[in-house]
Amino acid sequence: MKTERVLITGTTSGVGRALLDLYAKSGVKVISVNRRRVPELEALYPEVRFECVDVRAVEEVERLVLGLARSAELPDVFILNAGINRADNDESFDLPNYQSVIETNLYGVLNFVPPLMQLDRGRAARHLVAISSMANYVGNPYALGYTTSKQALTTCFKVWSRMYAETDLIFQRVMLGPVDTAIYTMHDRFPAWMVWVKNLCSAPLDATARAVARFALTRKERLFYPWRALPLYLGMWVCRSLVPGFFRGKKTLAGRARRVAPLAPGSANDPVRRGR
């Protein structure tokens, strides 16, 4: 079934911007949702309906969804893409950064669920696509908020997809591997090896957008990453399975923790206990 109207969150850059461009040029009616207005974007896509909504705010999201339902403009598909990535666990645990990532990546998606559940049954299928990440499987020790939010989001959608399998509510997960965006390099505390892996294995934005649009038609869970990254992922999986502590940053993280955190009295590294 062809998509006639789609709502996309987080279209100012990255995958969201690529999806906006793809759907707009395909003649699909697009509702773009961002936290702030971007006049340049609105001028570039005059046929797109732009909504200024903070997806972290429950009331704003509810007002948007119920308003679209009342005006008979409810989208066929909600592509809930808005997300951020910040280093929050480098030299110390940065709780404000962690919370901001959780609020955007997790609640910025979940806030769409209650108002859609309020709508009367019998309407057109309410199809939600959560843009998740392979961070579900290979966590990032430097960005706990990103990893945690994507794991929680995947769990919620997995449960709901089974609970509402016999209804018109469709919960779909699309998990992306590295994509050619600034999300890996937006903070100078990310290590150089992560940037190297991103540059080697990241998928182009246009290819990622086409894949997401194609997956949305299937209404099934999908995983997307470029073929050239497959040997690396397989090698990481084999090494992680055979070599204890491989790719977990165990020694590195433990060393960093000793530098930034006080030693527990009586611990094996306590200078007093070791006679220093």
- Name the CATH superfamily for 5-225: NAD(P)-binding Rossmann-like Domain (3.40.50.720)
Residue of higher predicted confidence among 219 and 64:
64
59: CB partners within 8 A, 6+ apart: none
Task: Read off the pLDDT of residues 164-210 as tens digits, 9 standing for 90 and up.
Answer: 988 888 999 999 887 877 655 544 555 666 667 667 777 888 989 99
Backbone angles phi, psi at 182, to 5 degrees: -85, 5
pLDDT value at 256 more than 60: no
Which residue(s) pair with 49 in the sheet? 31
Residue 123's pLDDT band (cuts 50, 70, 90):
low
pLDDT value at 162 more than 70: yes
Backbone angles phi, psi at 51, to 5 degrees: -120, 130
pLDDT value at 253 more than 90: no
Least confident of 35-44, 199-208, 237-246: 237-246
Please provide the average confidence, as pLDDT, over all residues in the chain: 81
Across the range 232-257, mean pLDDT stands at 59
Q: Would you say 179 and 14 are in contact if contact means Cβ atoms under 8 Å apart? A: yes
Residue of higher predicted confidence among 23 and 181:
23
pLDDT at position 36, please? 92
Strands 222-224 and 77-80: what pairing? unpaired
**Residue (of 217, 138, 220, 141) closest to 178 by Cα position:** 138
Task: Read off the pLDDT of residues 67-95 as tens digits, 9 standing for 90 and up.
Answer: 999 898 899 999 999 988 887 776 778 88
pLDDT at position 143, please? 80
Q: Would you say 143 and 88 are in contact if contact means Cβ atoms under 8 Å apart? A: yes
Out of 23-32, 180-189, 219-228, 235-244, the most confident range is 23-32
Task: Read off the pLDDT of residues 124-142 as tens digits, 9 standing for 90 and up.
Answer: 568 999 999 887 776 677 7
Residue 269's pLDDT band (cuts 50, 70, 90):
very low
Q: Would you say 101 and 141 are in contact if contact means Cβ atoms under 8 Å apart? A: no
**Residue (of 81, 202, 163, 72) closest to 124 by Cα position:** 72
Residue 259's pLDDT band (cuts 50, 70, 90):
low
Report how far apart the first and last C-alpha atoms of the chain are (Å, whole number).
72
pLDDT value at 270 more than 50: no
Task: For the chain, give every domain's residue range.
Answer: 5-225, 229-261
